[in-house]
Amino acid sequence: MRLFSKFLQTIKSLLPTGLTDEQVALLSHLDTHQIYVENVRSLLGVSNKEALAILETAVRQGVFTKMVGVVRPDGSIGASAKSEAALPRVIHYVADDEDGYPEEVDLPTQTLKKVVFYSLDESKESTSYSSAS
Amino acid sequence: MKTLPPKVRKYVLYARAFGLTGVRLRVPILKDASVELRQRLLDLFPVANLRASFEVKGSKEAIAGTIAKNSDAANLKKIAAFVDSAMPLCKQHIHIFAHDGDTVLEDDFAGAERIVTASDHSLYVVKKTYQVVELSQPPQYASIDFLWPIRIEVKDDYLLVRFAVLEKSIPSYFKSDITIRSKSPSEEQMTATLLADGTVSAANLNKGIKALWAKDLIDANRLKWDMPYSSDSKNMNEAKGLKKTNPAEYEAICTRPLRMCSFECDGALKDVGVFSINPTDGFIGFTRYSKDGSNGDALIQQILADN
């Protein structure tokens, strides 16, 4: 939890009003594998711009990794990587055909939407623990 | 339209005279099929299996063409036996029905011709027509026929109706891109005849599939389920398994009737890979080609044994 504590410190330093106990509790329930700007915006009651600034600061401080996900037609993420160039060229997808039966299709990544999210680097987290202990 | 031999015409007229308008003439579909139709049937299967079974050399097209040209009864029997044995290698849609154990398979199944009869199953073939639009300049209407293999397996409590999936191969028969306007018959039309007399019904496989899920032999990455006031769905990111990532939600969903879901196998069933199932409607779909055709059967046996 060392990185997550650092994330909370980052937020506190950027928010003039600091964090309430309730906000800390809500943030601790976030799934740190995939945090979106909207998660932070709605939990802290800040603007989109301020939420983005908090997350980008956390990236610069090494707390989070910024990820790019490729979005399948059903809205789920087919694959993610640290950059768009590192994404696979083709995304495998199970879709329903016109009769409602499932069929597997391969979709070119470049034709699909991308989404940015932030992820707590667990490998770094465990390293922090081992170096701390 | 085929001209009927005088003798057959006479029986049809008699039947109509006695009001037997539902009398269907049994036309030998495989025997009467053109060489192209038989070749398209063989195109469904891997070239290695064609080569091994018919001992013909060359490209897949050449092998299938050579085999299809020969309409001798012995060759047709060999084609039928090959399709029967190689059917599990295809992408398949399997409709599973519960029955009272008394179902007897007949020579005719909703207009399909029985070409293989075994103690526990029959293989049928029916002509399936696709009406398409060729997206050329200008766009043109066209149609293409296929011999569609259907295998019905009789078990003590269940009937398994296996349809080979044809769709993926259709565009390869046209020079331009196509869109499919209609197809006939459909899987629903074919299986409707089984349901007609009321002794056969779609099998509910919820218990069987949830038992495999509880044993961690499978995990779902795409789900639909019924709620009291809605139909809910979940598509997992990066094909992650629901149970592994969210055990609490898995527990909640397990109390609901499942609709079309995709699962990935693990443990003893790992080789099966990915499959789709609509347990409430008794449907299982194998959306990939099977390497040896045996693993899908192991999965079905497990689901039915636990059901």
Q: Do A94 and B187 make contact, defined as CB atoms within 8 angstroms?
A: no
Looking at residue B101, what is its pLDDT? 85
On average, the pLDDT of chain B sits at 88
**Residue B126 to residue B300: CA distance in whole angstroms:** 25
Report the gap between the CA of B168 and the closest CA in chain A (Å).
9
Residue B17 pLDDT exceeds 90: no
Q: Do A102 and B238 make contact, defined as CB atoms within 8 angstroms?
A: no
Helices (H), chain A: 2-14, 21-28, 37-44, 48-60, 122-132
Angle at B24 between CA B192 and CA B99, to 5 degrees: 30
Interfacial B residues in 20-59 facing A (CB < 8 Å) = none
Question: pLDDT for B95-113, tens place per residue?
Answer: 999 998 888 898 989 999 9
Q: Which residue has the higher pLDDT, B274 or A122?
A: B274
Q: Does A69 touch chain B (CB under 8 A)?
A: yes
Residue A39's alpha-carbon distances to A48, A72, A118, in angstroms, are: 10, 21, 11
**Residue B209 to residue B283: CA distance in whole angstroms:** 11
B-chain CB neighbours of A112 within 8 Å are: none
Looking at residue B264, what is its pLDDT? 94
Q: Which of B141-155, B165-179, B224-238 is the least confident region?
A: B165-179
A-chain CB neighbours of B132 within 8 Å are: none
* Neighbour tally for B170: CB within 10 Å: 16
Q: What is the DSSP letter of A8?
A: H
Residue A7 pLDDT exceeds 90: no
Q: Which residue is closest to A99 within chain B, CA to CA?
A: B186
Residue B120's alpha-carbon distances to B87, B94, B151, B187, in angstroms, are: 15, 16, 11, 21
Residue B81 pLDDT exceeds 80: yes
Q: Which residue is closest to B239 within chain A, CA to CA?
A: A78
Q: Please state whether the peptide bond connecting residue B171 to the residue before it is cis, i.e. omega within 30 degrees of 0.
A: no
Q: Does B280 touch chain A (CB under 8 A)?
A: no
Q: Do B235 and A75 make contact, defined as CB atoms within 8 angstroms?
A: yes
Give the pLDDT mean for B196-212: 93
Q: Do B287 and A104 make contact, defined as CB atoms within 8 angstroms?
A: yes
Q: Do A76 and B287 make contact, defined as CB atoms within 8 angstroms?
A: no
B-chain CB neighbours of A92 within 8 Å are: 239
Q: Does B260 touch chain A (CB under 8 A)?
A: yes
**Residue B219 to residue B216: CA distance in whole angstroms:** 7
Give the pLDDT mean for B251-280: 94
Give the pLDDT mean for A5-11: 82
Cβ contact B87:B118 at 8 Å: no
Q: Please state whether the peptide bond connecting residue B185 to the residue before it is cis, i.e. omega within 30 degrees of 0.
A: yes
Cβ-Cβ contacts under 8 Å for B187 (sequence gap 6 or more): A99, B93, B95, B163
**Residue A63 to residue B274: CA distance in whole angstroms:** 36
On average, the pLDDT of chain A sits at 85
Looking at residue A1, what is its pLDDT? 61
Candidates B93, B238, B285; nearest CB to A80: B238
Residue B3 pLDDT exceeds 60: no
Q: Which residue is closest to A72 within chain B, CA to CA?
A: B237
* Neighbour tally for B182: CB within 10 Å: 10
Cβ contact B146:B167 at 8 Å: no
A-chain CB neighbours of B285 within 8 Å are: 101-102
Looking at residue B127, what is its pLDDT? 95
SS3 B220: strand
Closest of B106, B48, B45 to residue B80, by C-alpha? B45
Closest of B136, B110, B116 to residue B30, by C-alpha? B116
Q: Do B222 and A96 make contact, defined as CB atoms within 8 angstroms?
A: no
Q: Would the ipTM clear 0.95, i.e. be above it?
A: no
Closest of A36, A103, A108 to residue A72, by C-alpha? A108
B-chain CB neighbours of A104 within 8 Å are: 274, 287-288
B-chain CB neighbours of A102 within 8 Å are: 260, 262, 276, 285, 287
Q: Does A39 touch chain B (CB under 8 A)?
A: no
Share of chain B above pLDDT 70, in %: 89
Question: pLDDT for A24-82, tens place per residue?
Answer: 888 888 888 899 999 999 988 889 999 999 899 989 988 889 999 999 999 999 999 99
Looking at residue B202, what is its pLDDT? 95
Q: What is the DSSP letter of B237?
A: G
Looking at residue A83, what is its pLDDT? 95
Q: Does A106 touch chain B (CB under 8 A)?
A: no
Q: What is the DSSP letter of B156?
A: S
Q: Does B93 touch chain A (CB under 8 A)?
A: yes
Closest of A9, A51, A46, A43 to residue A26, by C-alpha? A43
Report the gap between the CA of B234 and the closest CA in chain A (Å).
9
* Neighbour tally for A73: CB within 10 Å: 14
